[in-house]
Amino acid sequence: MEFKEIIKRAREIQTVYRSFNKKSGHKNWGASEYAQGLVGDVGDLMKLIMAKNNLRNGTDIDKKLAHELSGQSW
């Protein structure tokens, strides 16, 4: 996939989220909200990495890691 296609897809997803938020009565996310979401996602990822390294308990770690990493790329 070309970078231009990735940008186009990201904007399409952003449009859908904005529409969903408006219908749900929520405000659109700005830079601050995206940064806060990223920090939370990175924290979740780190907990899974710790579980993978037997530093925390967890189940289905590989599956959860794959899911979290795909979400981080967005």
pLDDT digits (tens, 9 = 90+) for 32-62: 998 999 999 999 999 999 999 999 999 999 9
What is the domain extent for residue 58?
Answer: 3-73
CA nearest neighbour of 61 among 71, 69, 70, 51:
51
DSSP for 17-72? HHHHHHHTTPPPP-HHHHHHHHHHHHHHHHHHHHHHTTSS--SSHHHHHHHHHHHH
User: What's the average model confidence in pLDDT over 2-24?
Assistant: 93
Contacts of 37 (CB under 8 A, 6+ apart): 29
pLDDT band at 74 (very low <50, low <70, confident <90, very high): low
Q: How many domains does the chain have?
A: 1
Pair of tokens at residue 10: 């990201």
